[in-house]
Amino acid sequence: MTDSTPSPKAKSHGRLASRPTLRPSELMTNTPDLAGVWKAKVITLFPEAFPGVLGESLTGKALQDGKWQLEKIHLREFGVGKHKNVDDTPAGGGAGMVIRPDVMGEAIDFAMNGTPPDRQDWPLVYLSPRGKRFDQAMAQRWSKARGITMICGRFEGVDDRVLYHYGVEEVSLGDFVLTGGEIAAQAMIDATVRLLPDVLGNAESIEEESHSHGLLEHPQFTRPAEWNGLPIPEVLMSGHHGKIAEWRQKMAEKITRDRRPDMWERYEASQKGNHKP
């Protein structure tokens, strides 16, 4: 993990100077970059929030093992004036503050410098409740890129011109409003990183799990064989792999039909499509 924010200047400015997340640029440029390893660059006002939960368990181990990389870019470093301001009041009035386009623009230029020019290879994404809803297909697409740059908003969001100017893709975690983009970024990085080769120990679990084939996953059970008077379904104890696979498929279909009619409709349509001569 690197914290690449470029600002030796910050050393001499007020209370920011003592923050441990602000490192001299020498250190940052010396941080080794693992060539060819998928990388998430995250522009945020709260770099200390990363890796956060991504530092735990499988994603954390994979990060340590150099199977993916994280670069935190501290938006504050690009702020203007003595106080490194990043935001201002909304044009036209109203509540809250808006992140300035010049400040965000410089952070984006810094982040995108040296990345592949084709956005397929290196998406530039703004976490936003107005964005396209994040899903498994997007995680799959991103995991095939060489890396991604994510912009975490705060306050009322970022000046719209910056999104327009850089052709930023807006992506939402869901139909609710968070205080900032950091949690959304971590959720999306998690979903993407676990699809990278070698990150999950058991690659088969990716093939079968919810959303990978347009169905939700079948129910899972483990020991004890009976718990609170509830036995594990008999077929799972039978050792008959064919029957188990059949049962799991049926349960996945039933759960999807019951809980997600929208997914079920798409699944049925795709099955019909597959059977066309």
- Residues near ligand SAH (CB under 6 A) are 127-130, 152-154, 156-157, 172-174, 176-178, 180-181, 184
Report in angstroms how near the CB of residue 268 gets to ligand SAH at its nearest.
Answer: 29
Nearer CB in complex with ligand SAH: 188/216 = 188
Report in angstroms how near the CB of residue 83 gets to ligand SAH at its nearest.
Answer: 21
Closest by CA to 142, choosing from 184, 194, 183, is: 194
Helix (H, G, I), strand (E, B) or coil at 261: helix
Report in angstroms how near the CB of residue 185 gets to ligand SAH at its nearest.
Answer: 8
Contact 152, 185 (CB under 8 A): yes
Report in angstroms how near the CB of residue 95 gets to ligand SAH at its nearest.
Answer: 9
Contact 191, 200 (CB under 8 A): no
- The rounded distance, in Å, linking the Cα atoms of 244 and 175 is 36
Nearer CB in complex with ligand SAH: 55/129 = 129
66 is in an annotated binding site: no
Nearer CB in complex with ligand SAH: 70/158 = 158
- The rounded distance, in Å, linking the Cα atoms of 55 and 34 is 18
174 is in an annotated binding site: yes
Contact 130, 176 (CB under 8 A): no
Nearer CB in complex with ligand SAH: 71/182 = 182
Distance separating the N- and C-terminal Cα atoms of the chain? 50
221 is in an annotated binding site: no
Nearer CB in complex with ligand SAH: 34/137 = 137
Contact 62, 55 (CB under 8 A): no
Report in angstroms how near the CB of residue 29 gets to ligand SAH at its nearest.
Answer: 28
- Give the residue nearest to ligand SAH (CB): 153
Residues 6+ apart with CB under 8 A from 199: 58, 59, 62, 67, 68, 193
Contact 78, 10 (CB under 8 A): no
Nearer CB in complex with ligand SAH: 70/99 = 99
Report in angstroms how near the CB of residue 17 gets to ligand SAH at its nearest.
Answer: 27
Element (H, E) at 103: helix 101-112
- At how many degrees (to 10) do helices 261-275 and 241-259 cross? 130
178 is in an annotated binding site: yes
75 is in an annotated binding site: no
Binding annotation for S-adenosyl-L-methionine: 153, 173-178
Binding annotation: 153, 173-178
